[in-house]
Amino acid sequence: MRYVLRYFGAAFVLTNVRGAVFDGETEQDVVKLIQATLECRHVSGMTVGIIKENETWTHGFGMADLKSGRPVDGDTLFNIASVTKSFTMALLAILLKENKLHWKTTVSDILGSEYGFIDDYRTRETTLRDLLSHRTGLANPDIGFMAGFPPSLSREDMCKRMRYLPEQIPFRDSYIYNNYLYMLLGHVAEKLGGDTWENLLMSRIFVPLGMKSTKILKKTSDVLASDMAHPYIYKDNSFENSTLDIYELHPAEPAGAILSSAEDMVLYLQFVLSNGKTTTGDQLVDPMLFREAFSVALPVVRGDVTVSKPTFPVSDVVGGYGYGWFESSYDGYRAVWHRGTLWAYYSIAWLVPEQNIGIFISTNGGMFKDDQYTSLTTTLYYLADLLLDKEPWLNSSTACSFPEPWKKVYKADSRPPENSPFLPDISEYTGTYGNEFQPDVVVTVNGSSQTQLNFESGR
């Protein structure tokens, strides 16, 4: 891919010169806003990929490696986290067509009696559709991802432990986001495809789409590779290296372990917008199966689902979840999207299908601050307005103040005072907690403190 090193304001930016998504003046406005956003939101690096009709635009901003001074460009890899889920869905769609199955096929029909859930009814009735749309009602103990699972525990072993996940709400009653369901879907793909999820993704999606750089996060040191945006946190007014030990998702990689670039992701977004067809004209997915994946399988009531212009005070809105994609709206346009977070990495893939528009944004630092996620959303809003031929309601100033001036932000310390009569005897909560599904959690009192608890689990 050919890049030009252009000078915008006070910085050089690596620009992909292919396509004509923006004219020169608009491009300068985009670069100015994103650079201002990274600075005021304390984000170390950002990559942006856009597709509109058949034109693409990719940009790198900030630093991929602060120590060496290596900048982000369109080929820099970021962890896309839960955007991975849509790839697992697409892979399943390919394999279902070959095996003459459908989304309503039960998990037990594919995996057999060795696999099950907390009760016989779920074990018998749960379909691929139920897993894809997060409607099993099973708990999602994400502490296992932070604590880590034993290296000797295979994906197959872990999927057989799904029977120990407790019920949180009744089956098919409502939506509960659950990473482990996509781990199980990855294993279903392995059974149908006769190979590992990783190899199947490579041969059935990455290679046919021309995604030459994309790979899977397998070990923690992968995030420090020379083609990666390294992970950072912003602490005490400076960037620090993120804790390395936590960048491993074994054995739940199908839920969030893809490493990709803006250049590769625009190819993927084009594939999705084309209803499963590659740029060379190969129809990889049955269009009927793919279309169903983008229809709402379950309503979702959450305040952060609908992507829309801000109206305050913000109230809960009804959005929906399909198969690996949310569905909502932006200023009257139908939008499908998914975001992903893995510690220092925040990403979003966003589509306006009827207008053939796709946006991918990923960042590598600013962790533990709301600012990093806000940098994604304000950049998305600004780009969406431009691509929809609307006057942007954000600028370099308000992108940094958002949600102000529309909404006043209050930050309060929610901890009770030390002498509060409502403080419990926290020693009552100490002990070892766990089940057969995940590593034990050991809870202890923090030294002489009577108000703080420590927990330890796995690594």
Question: Can you give the pLDDT at residue 17?
Answer: 47
Question: Can you give the pLDDT at residue 304?
Answer: 46
CA 387 centroid distance within chain: 23
Question: Can you give the pLDDT at residue 420?
Answer: 63
Question: Can you give the pLDDT at residue 436?
Answer: 87
- pLDDT tens, 263-309? 999 999 999 999 999 999 999 999 999 999 988 777 775 544 445 56
Q: How close are the terminal C-alpha atoms of the chain, in Å?
A: 41
Go through the domains of the chain in sequence order and give each one's CATH number: 3-82+211-401 (3.40.710.10), 86-193 (no CATH), 426-456 (no CATH)
- pLDDT tens, 371-421? 999 999 999 999 999 999 999 999 999 999 998 888 777 666 656 566 666
CA–CA dist 161, 177 (Å, integer): 18
Instruction: Confirm whether pTM is higher than 0.85.
Output: yes
**Of all residues in the chain, what percent carry a pLDDT higher than 90?**
72
With residues binned 3-state (H G I as helix, E B as strand, rest as coil), the percentages for the chain, rounded to 5, are 35, 25, 40
Question: Can you give the pLDDT at residue 305?
Answer: 45
Average pLDDT over residues 143-168: 92
Instruction: Give the confidence band of 201 by pLDDT, cuts at 50, 70, 90.
Output: very high
Position 430 pLDDT exceeds 80: yes
Instruction: Give the confidence band of 68 by pLDDT, cuts at 50, 70, 90.
Output: very high
14, 8 in Cβ contact below 8 A?
no
- pLDDT tens, 98-118? 999 999 999 999 999 999 999
Position 44 pLDDT exceeds 80: yes
Q: Which of 72-86, 158-172, 245-259, 411-425 has the lowest mean pLDDT?
A: 411-425
41, 48 in Cβ contact below 8 A?
no
Average pLDDT over residues 55-76: 97
Average pLDDT over residues 173-184: 95
For 131-264, list the strands marked E by DSSP: 215-216, 232-235, 238-241, 258-260
- pLDDT tens, 436-458? 888 889 999 988 777 889 989 98
Contacts of 159 (CB under 8 A, 6+ apart): 111, 115, 183, 184, 187
Question: Can you give the pLDDT at residue 424?
Answer: 73
For 180-247, list the strands marked E by DSSP: 215-216, 232-235, 238-241
**Of all residues in the chain, what percent carry a pLDDT higher than 70?**
88
- pLDDT tens, 204-218? 999 999 999 999 999
Question: Can you give the pLDDT at residue 417?
Answer: 63
Position 338 pLDDT exceeds 50: yes
The three-state secondary structure class of 61 is: strand
Question: Can you give the pLDDT at residue 1?
Answer: 46
